[in-house]
Amino acid sequence: MRLDQAIAALHPAISRRKARELIAARRVLVNERAVSIASREVDASDRIAVVEDAPELSIIRESDDWIAIDKPAGMPTQPTRDREQRSLEELLRLRFREIWLVHRLDTPTSGVVLFARTPEYAAKLSALFANGEIRKTYLAILEGEIAEERVVDTQVQGKAARTTFRPLRVDGKTTLIEAIIETGRTHQIRIHAQSIGHPVVGDRRYGSGGRAARLMLHAWKLEHASFGVLEAPPPTSFSFESPILR
């Protein structure tokens, strides 16, 4: 079956003409890759996604080898089972034919995500991340008061993990901290924050969740000699002043 026919069959509200327009505008993904040929043959094994309204992405900086994006909170880094929710990787593929994901952020976390634009650089970045050579700095708002720097080096999922928590501001009920991780385990900061009795504000998995509108965790900076400092300023939704935190 042709791709435009398949889209019309999958989405009754989309005519074949509209399907061809979406394909021409690179708003259709087949197996997580943007396509532009309406006559392309597809079958039942192909994964077809239509993105009618693609949100603007905030590009921090880019080169021929990589591109850094400021991911909003609530957007998955990579495709999920929820086909109605577009991921950052999928949206990038609408604009760039070749993109490689080399690390990720949790869906509720905002901040810097780095993608490779060539397979060779993807291998290089993957090695740098795996070896802990890229410095990763987060901002987080933790429950309770932390008066001094804390270093946590307990294992996460049976693997070595180390996080340094540096308090930046305390208000008695919450603490704004800088978190530097030397490893990149899944949920590392959230697990280590819970382990010292100060879970991340808004963390419904490892903390109380509370009334915060979002998980107060933001990937602030990535640093390495090959690309310098990539920084994403905290969004307005990440606010130490918000009354909802108090």
Give catalytic residue positions. Answer: 106
Joined together, the tokens standing for residue 12 give 């009754």
Cβ partners under 8 Å of residue 127, min gap 6? none
Cβ partners under 8 Å of residue 154, min gap 6? 161, 192, 195
Cβ partners under 8 Å of residue 110, min gap 6? 70, 71, 72, 73, 217, 218, 219, 232, 234, 235, 237, 238
Distance CA 240, CA 246 (A): 9
According to DSSP, residue 237 is labeled T
Q: Yes or no: say if 111 and 218 are a contact pair by the CB < 8 Å rule.
A: yes
CB hemisphere CA count around 8 (13 angstroms): 14
